[in-house]
A and B are shown apart, each in its own frame.
Chain A
């Protein structure tokens, strides 16, 4: 089964990096969608079928917290898996996000294997055949 992935980060290079790592890790991705902030994420969610969201927190216009609040408030999206990709490690701050509900966290700077591990927990282990077909994997 292929998953549709939504990557939200105001850094286009970070979005490219995440996409590349997911490809190398061999996750069966159907379509990638990308946005630079929460507002763009909501627009994509309104028009596309998304299976998992990877989002930054610190973004202009609409940050990750506001995005998470909106997603959890909508019946159609409330169970959508959300993975935070952030520098945030402060327990006092992360507890606010825990209350809203997220499925995983990847701290920046991250190593490729961390993305693989967190995604595996949520999406299941990637198919070995898919990894073999990808451009190579060193983790």
Chain B
């Protein structure tokens, strides 16, 4: 794993633990995904413009939002779920940029989130993509140019 990806993983792991009380782990072979998910991404503009993002199954997105708000009795809306995921992505990108050597030149843009269909295919190795398991559910963490 490159240092860049390692930094992204470290930052994400810390943020999942401290903001969401969830732990990211290497995925088990049998873990896959299928159905509705949410993808949140944020562009970082600088000497080398890139996008950082995360894709999670809807059920995990709901769990993340519930943990983030720290309230089980509060009625969770889809808007809360999207908003919480965008905030998590924003915090991941911001803390990732803080670790870059030329960090001062980078500007984190406003995060966006959209529903996605998760096709069964499990965690294939793709450049710039890391797969993790959180509470038995698969998540995708990625960084790509542009």
Contact = CB atoms under 8 A, between A and B. Distances in A.
A13 B15 contact: no
Contacts of A92: 104
Interface in A12-31: 12-14, 16-17, 20
In this complex, the member of A13, A14, A88 whose beta carbon has the largest number of chain B beta carbons within 10 angstroms is: A13
B98 A90 contact: yes
A58 B94 contact: yes
Contacts of B132: none
Contacts of B104: 90, 92-93
B130 interface: no
Nearest to A93: B104
B103 to A, nearest CB: 5
Interface string B95-111: 10110000110001110
Contacts of B138: none
Interface in B73-125: 79-80, 83-84, 86-87, 90-91, 93-95, 97-98, 103-104, 108-110
Interface in B51-80: 65, 68-71, 79-80
A10 B110 contact: yes
B19 interface: yes
Nearest to A108: B91
A93 B80 CA distance: 30
B78 to A, nearest CB: 12
A58 B110 contact: yes
Given A87-B90, A90-B103, A108-B94, A12 B79 contact: yes
Given A13-B80, A17-B68, A58-B90, 5 more contacts: A12-B79, A13-B65, A13-B83, A87-B93, A87-B94
The 5 A-B pairs of least Cβ separation, nearest first, read A87-B94, A92-B104, A11-B87, A109-B19, A109-B18
11 contacts: A10-B110, A11-B83, A13-B69, A13-B83, A13-B84, A13-B87, A17-B70, A58-B108, A87-B91, A108-B19, A108-B94
Interface of B: 14-15, 18-19, 65, 68-71, 79-80, 83-84, 86-87, 90-91, 93-95, 97-98, 103-104, 108-110
